[in-house]
Amino acid sequence: MNDIKISVIIPVYNCGRYIGNTLKSVINQNFRDYEIIVVDDGSTDNSLEIINSTLKDCGVKYKVIHQDNAGVSVARNHGIDISEGEYLVFVDGDDYILENHLSELYVEGYDFNMIQFAKQHDDEISPNPNNFNFDTISTDEFIRKELNMEILFNFFQLAYRTEIIKNFDIRFTPGVVYGEDTEFALKALIHGDRIHVSKEITYYYVQRYDSAIRTTEYRRFDIVPIFENLANYYRINGKNSLANSIIYTRIPKAIFGNMNYFFYSCYGFDEVMYVMEKKDLFSKLARFRGDLKFKTKVNLFLLNPKLYYKLWFKFKNSID
């Protein structure tokens, strides 16, 4: 009889400086009956050596898989395929968790369980700004809040019922380095009922300047086709209202927010405009339907992008 309650999936690529601490945090849980699945994605440093030495005689069931370099999505999918736990939990190879992480994420009777997280850069820690005033929430309402950008969340905050992920063949999209995790979570959530929400911060997301996203910043706009695919998925599954929220709210806000991020990060105006035109983002931004304040900003930009940029630069507007 399988007694594994949680499968912790950890993709690793050249994380030799960090993976030891990550694994120790996963091993030192005040929870039992879980397995650790580490998928080494063709690391060329000493990651695999550290993984094997750290897990040896750790007292926790574990599997170590080595695959040719194929990207984090393929690595996570590999972990899903061989998982045996009742729930799936994801931890990145350079992050760490507190000892109560798994115990907070294992609440029977729910399709998804959620914890809170904090970002860490060097010694500075900043908690996720959400102040949840609910202990449970329907998946439908949670998705709507995310699509309206009323809440901020990351896919690793959730424990996913494995039965849902495998029965509906939900996987991470290979070859994508920005947004594949959001797509995975939002696909999974429509197949469940309720989410149990813990107020505890148990996951520490360590930000590093050499990450894949930071070295390919314009891929932030790749979230647009990801959301378009998600909208199609929702329509196929009879969620037309949610699909419309993606097209008319979430995508325009993602475009505008990332554009302002580039301005804030001192990217050149002409370069940003060139990328947006090449990706056909102006017409998709113009579809926005929603609050008047945001609509006014969008209209000003579309009417005269250069004027908007000058006004933004003068007043250092927020990147929302």
Check pLDDT > 90 for residue 224.
Answer: yes
pLDDT score at 266 = 86
Listed in order, the ranges of the chain carrying CATH 3.90.550.10 are 6-206
Summarize the confidence of residues 8-23 as an average pLDDT: 96
How far, in Å, CA of 69 to CA of 155, rounded?
23
Higher pLDDT, 129 or 210: 129
Higher pLDDT, 96 or 133: 96
> Which token pair is 16?
């030799």
262-295 per-position pLDDT tens digit: 998 888 899 999 999 999 999 999 999 988 999 9
Contacts of residue 239, Cβ cutoff 8 Å, sequence gap at least 6 = 190
pLDDT score at 317 = 54
The share of the chain scoring above pLDDT 90, in percent, equals 80
Taking the CA atoms of the chain, what radius of gyration do you get in angstroms?
A: 20
Element at 41 (helix H, strand E): strand 34-41
21-37 per-position pLDDT tens digit: 999 999 999 999 999 99
Check pLDDT > 70 for residue 213.
Answer: no
Average pLDDT, the chain: 92
pLDDT score at 316 = 64
pLDDT score at 313 = 81
Q: At what angle do helices 292-303 and 305-315 cross, to 10 degrees?
A: 120
pLDDT score at 319 = 42
pLDDT score at 276 = 95
Helices (H), the chain: 19-27, 47-55, 72-82, 101-105, 139-147, 162-167, 180-189, 223-236, 240-245, 251-264, 269-278, 281-285, 292-303, 305-315
Three-state DSSP at 288 gives coil
CATH class of the domain comprising 6-206:
alpha beta
Least confident of 72-81, 129-138, 183-192: 129-138
> Which token pair is 121?
């850069």
The share of the chain scoring above pLDDT 70, in percent, equals 94
